[in-house]
Amino acid sequence: MTEVYHNIFKLRLSNQLRCLYTIIRDEKTSRADFVFYSDRIIRLLVEEGLNQLPVKSKTILTPTGSTYHGFEFEGKICGVSIIRAGESMEQGLRACCRSVRLGKILIQRDEETALPKLFYVKLPTDISKRYVLLLDPLLATGGSACMAIDVLKQKGVSEDRIIFLNVLASPEGIEVFRSKYPKIKVITGMVDDGLNEHKYVIPGVGDFGDRYYCI
């Protein structure tokens, strides 16, 4: 069962999840294994994100000629990845949602100030009418995610239609979302100890994008 705290949803720490996180945290893990096991965690996050979407009643006819009173999702969705690390989560979303629309936001952190800068935005034209799964594997200071959310809000997306998925989060980043965006749901796999002097999540996994994409 997923743990819930003020719109912060944390995956249940099962034995499987403990093992998966140990593998991706290990500096000795090969890139191939890092990608494989990260993808397994991402799939779990996407599934939980989809669990948070609203549904409405739908009646269908089964192949036996029986009537079944079921449900369907209330609205359309799209994924928005924060480039580049967020793109690692797109395949997990596609695996669960066929032909899902995807948007991209490029935000880079200034290494001297640790502040985010916006460089590129490409979103579906009807994004204001969709539920948005925002994708970024690490929630550190929350600066990049906050900038991405501000972009989405400028495009007409309401906070209660945004679900933020991340593999790891820091307590500092979680607190930013609780105080600044109380209507946004955050789905995370694990909340780490905190941030170091360089504003990296610890114990963390290192640079997620570098480990996922670089050989």
Render pLDDT for 63-75 as a digit per residue (tens, 0 to 9). 999 999 999 999 8
**Which one from 94, 109, 160, 178 is the annotated catalytic residue?**
109
Per the rule left: phi > 0, alpha: psi between -120 and 50, beta: everything else, 206 is left
> 119, 85, 70, 77: which is closest to 102 by C-alpha?
77
Q: Domain residue spans in the chain? A: 3-213
- Global pTM reads 0.91
| 64 is a catalytic site residue | no
| 109 is a catalytic site residue | yes
Report whether pLDDT(157) > 80: yes
Render pLDDT for 102-151 as a digit per residue (tens, 0 to 9). 999 998 877 677 677 888 999 999 999 999 999 999 999 988 899 999 99
| 43 is a catalytic site residue | no
| Cβ–Cβ under 8 Å, residues 212 and 38 | yes
Rounded Cα–Cα distance for residues 152 and 130 (Å) = 11
State which fold the 3-213 domain adopts.
Answer: Rossmann fold (3.40.50)
